[in-house]
Amino acid sequence: MKLGLLVNAGRLGAGTVLSEILDWATNSSIEVFIFSDGALPASGGTAVAEAELASRADFVLALGGDGTILRAARAVGNSQKPILGINTGGLGFLAELSNRNVSTALDVLKKGGYQLENRMVLQAEVKTTGLKFFALNDVVVEKGEVRRLLRLSLSANGEYICSYASDGLVIATPTGSTAYSLSLGGPIINPRMALITALPISPHSLASRPLIFEPTDVLEITLSQPEKEALVTVDGQLSQKITSTDRLSVRRAPHPIRLVRFNKQSFYQVLRSKLHWGVLPGEG
Please pick, among 23, 37, 66, 138, the residue that the annotation labels catalytic: 66
Average the pLDDT over 36-59 and give the result. Answer: 86
Are residues 82 and 256 in contact, defined by beta-carbon separation less than 8 angstroms? no
pLDDT for the residue 228: 81
pLDDT for the residue 161: 97
pTM above 0.75, yes or no: yes
pLDDT for the residue 281: 66
pLDDT for the residue 41: 59
pLDDT in tens, 105-115: 999 999 999 99
What are the DSSP E strand ranges found in 131-276? Answer: 131-135, 138-142, 150-156, 159-166, 168-172, 196-201, 211-213, 219-223, 229-234, 238-243, 248-252, 257-261
pLDDT in tens, 119-153: 999 999 999 899 999 999 999 999 877 678 899 99
Please determine, looking at this structure, whether the domain spanning 2-119+256-275 carries the CATH number 3.40.50.10330. yes
Domain boundaries in the chain?
Answer: 2-119+256-275, 122-252
Residues in the chain, total: 284
Helices (H), the chain: 14-27, 53-56, 66-76, 102-110, 180-183, 267-275
Please determine, looking at this structure, whether the domain spanning 122-252 carries the CATH number 1.10.3720.10. no
Is 235 labeled as catalytic in the residue annotation?
no
pLDDT in tens, 263-283: 778 888 888 888 888 777 666
Where b means 16+ CB within 10 Å and e means fewer, 151-189 reads: bbebbbeeeeebebbbbbbbbbbbbbbbbbbbebebebb
